[in-house]
């Protein structure tokens, strides 16, 4: 595996015995182009916000910001404590808003252009998501989009 500094490191998998005996877990996932931890957690747990469980089970991923294609990781079984310790994702969309999942390469301007028909309306998206860092959009992050005018 190549780390975030470009140095080659050996990968030591986390032993399966570290996870609870839930049938079918742990699972093995091989990173492919376009993967994010959010997307992987959504695939296996149907809850993208539980990506931290995967990150904690795979120390070789470091911060999780840089996923190397071809890296094999373990997807652990969820425990009650891992689900409770994670933030709860917003399940419903407020009236007057739609949801949008950030994709690789997105900018607020491009999202506004696609979803609102005018890239200059990017500030409306920023106001609808005050916690959003427009200079650091996270792939897989779900944001609110105001209804088109």
Higher pLDDT, 4 or 63: 63
Mark whether 80 and 102 lie in a shared domain: no
Residue 51's domain spans which residues?
A: 16-84
- 128 lies in some domain: yes
Angle among Cα 40, 46, 50 to the nearest 5 degrees reads: 65
- 91 lies in some domain: no
The answer to whether the predicted template modeling score (pTM) of the entire model surpasses 0.75 is: no
Token duo for residue 145 = 């989009």
Supply the pLDDT for residue 11. 45
- 6 lies in some domain: no
- Alpha carbon distance 54, 1 (integer Å): 17
Supply the pLDDT for residue 88. 42
- Alpha carbon distance 102, 141 (integer Å): 5
Q: Which residues of 29-60 are buried (b: 16+ CB within 10 A; e: fewer)?
A: bebeeebbbbbbbbebbebbbbbebbbebbeb
Supply the pLDDT for residue 50. 83
Mark whether 76 and 129 lie in a shared domain: no
CATH number (domain holding residue 113): 3.10.350.10
- 3 lies in some domain: no
Helix (H) / strand (E) element for 98: namely strand 97-101
Q: What is the pLDDT of residues 90-105, one digit of tens each?
A: 445 567 788 888 888 8
- Alpha carbon distance 142, 89 (integer Å): 9
Given 84, 114, 135, which residue is the final one in a domain?
84
Q: Band the pLDDT of 89: cuts 50, 70, 90.
A: very low
- 5 lies in some domain: no
Residues 121-138, mean pLDDT to the nearest whole number: 88
Given 84, 107, 134, which residue is the final one in a domain?
84
Mark whether 54 and 105 lie in a shared domain: no
Question: Out of 14-23, 44-53, 87-96, 115-124, which region has the weakest mean confidence (pLDDT)?
Answer: 14-23
Is residue 123's pLDDT more than 90? yes
Structurally, how many domains does the chain consist of?
Answer: 2
Mark whether 66 and 104 lie in a shared domain: no
Q: What is the pLDDT of residues 4-17, one digit of tens each?
A: 455 554 444 444 44
Residues 16-38, mean pLDDT to the nearest whole number: 72
Given 54, 84, 114, which residue is the final one in a domain?
84
Is residue 149's pLDDT more than 80? no
Helix (H) / strand (E) element for 112: namely helix 108-116
- 2 lies in some domain: no
Q: Is the peptide bond before 26 cis (omega within 30 degrees of 0)?
A: yes
């Amino acid at each position: 595996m190549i780390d975030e500094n470009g140095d080659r490191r050996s990968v030591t998998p986390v032993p399966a015995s570290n996870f609870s005996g839930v049938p079918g877990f742990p699972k093995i996932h091989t990173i492919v182009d376009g993967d994010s931890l959010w997307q992987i957690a959504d695939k296996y747990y149907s809850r993208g916000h539980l990506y931290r469980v995967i990150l904690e089970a795979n120390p070789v991923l470091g911060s999780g910001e840089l996923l190397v294609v071809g890296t094999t990781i373990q997807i652990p079984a969820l425990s009650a404590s891992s689900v409770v310790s994670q933030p709860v994702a917003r399940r419903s969309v407020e009236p007057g808003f739609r949801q949008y999942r950030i994709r690789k390469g997105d900018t607020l301007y491009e999202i506004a252009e696609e979803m609102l028909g005018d890239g200059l309306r990017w500030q409306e998206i920023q106001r609808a998501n005050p916690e959003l860092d427009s200079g650091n959009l996270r792939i897989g992050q779900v944001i609110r989009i105001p209804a088109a005018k």
